Structure 1
């Protein structure tokens, strides 16, 4: 059922408070605090592949990386969250709230830059869950978006795994590194969020992992069981 909107009011902007949970904390980006650890996590030898599908980067100095994030956050275009492991205080990567439309209750998660230590882990899914919970449950958003290069099959699979629905393809959307980029759009809306959240919480529960940290049931299997 569609949400009643006769008394609709704009939502607060996301990404202005820290988000703790699941052994992580996500902190709003601050250049003086976060550039150096982000450079260690995301740049340097062996990390160029992290930037393969990003419109900018990789960066070869901390100052260039800092300018990249600082410019977008200072303009209000992004609200970047920096992901830390609580136990070790290690920076693991970052993801940003983008295409912010608080008047419409809509935001995108993008520029998802996970270090090698965070990719394909329980913590990576937990970071997404914290960001989604913040916009839907704490700020009252109606829509959460995910967009990716149509050729980036891994990103499309990740969107579907998290619970997004594919909406369509914007053809000839960008000229990207001398090539055409078609952009695939995905979303979760507020009516879908309770089921998406329930699946994420069930999958993230410690009982779904063995002593070596391997999942017992996949997120898709958990979602099917709950459905």
Structure 2
């Protein structure tokens, strides 16, 4: 099994596979209320069976080259993750997402992990456009999109019905030429 270092603090990213369902459930239980503020994930992974099923669905996406999911670990503990919820290699598009439990907030973990998966998607899989869809109220996730060099494409007004309330969703994106130019600028700067 492989792990990708996310920096000198010992944080790392690994594939989040079905055999990690117990660890995933414990992680989700620690952060369920916090993670569930803006995304539906904690509502679907509530017990070992649903965690295993969710992770298995991503294993199937990996096999079909239609998505990916990675966990973020600090100090040997699963604290969050990043994913490509959708990935269409033929069309050159992917939608990235993330989550963190409260103990991991403010360390730049999602930004670092998202950079790794976006770079992989652009450089290895030929993805041209990576989207980031986020609740307009989720300031932390919007800040990640900005740090990733994404542009705000627009707002889908009241498009997301979540826990009985309609939410505005912002769509952010980065195109492959923009990603490469920003990466080159950081090497030269």
TM range (shorter): 0.7 to 0.9
| Residue 142 (structure 2) aligns with | 156
Aligned-pair CA distance for 1:129? 1.4
Note closer, same or farther for the CA distance 1:72–1:137 as it changes in structure 2 (3 Å cut).
closer
| Residue 53 (structure 1) aligns with | 38
Deviation track 1:147-185 (CA, whole Å, cap 9, x = no partner) reads 011222322222112211100112232222111122110
Q: CA RMSD in A?
A: 2.7
| Residue 100 (structure 1) aligns with | 87
Residue 125 (structure 2) pairs with residue 136 (structure 1) = no
| Residue 180 (structure 2) aligns with | 194
In 1: Cα distance, 2:4 partner to 2:107 partner: 17
Residue 4 (structure 2) pairs with residue 20 (structure 1) = yes
Contact 2:155 2:168 in 1 (8 A): yes
Note closer, same or farther for the CA distance 1:18–1:137 as it changes in structure 2 (3 Å cut).
farther
In 2: Cα distance, 1:176 partner to 1:122 partner: 27
- Which is richer in strand? 2
TM-score, with structure 1 as normaliser = 0.68
In 1: Cα distance, 2:108 partner to 2:84 partner: 21
In 2: Cα distance, 1:132 partner to 1:60 partner: 29
SS of the residue corresponding to residue 128 of structure 1 reads: helix
Deviation track 1:24-80 (CA, whole Å, cap 9, x = no partner) reads 443333211x21222222314x64112210124245433333333434553666421
Would you identify which runs of 4 or more consecutive aligned residues in structure 1 move more than 6 Å? Answer: 199-202
Residue 95 (structure 2) pairs with residue 81 (structure 1) = no
SS of the residue corresponding to residue 191 of structure 1 reads: helix
Note closer, same or farther for the CA distance 1:69–1:197 as it changes in structure 2 (3 Å cut).
same
TM-score, with structure 2 as normaliser = 0.80
Aligned-pair CA distance for 1:200? 6.8
Number of positions where the alignment pairs a residue of Structure 1 with one of Structure 2: 182
Question: Over alpha carbons, which structure has the higher Rg?
Answer: 1
- Which is richer in helix? 2
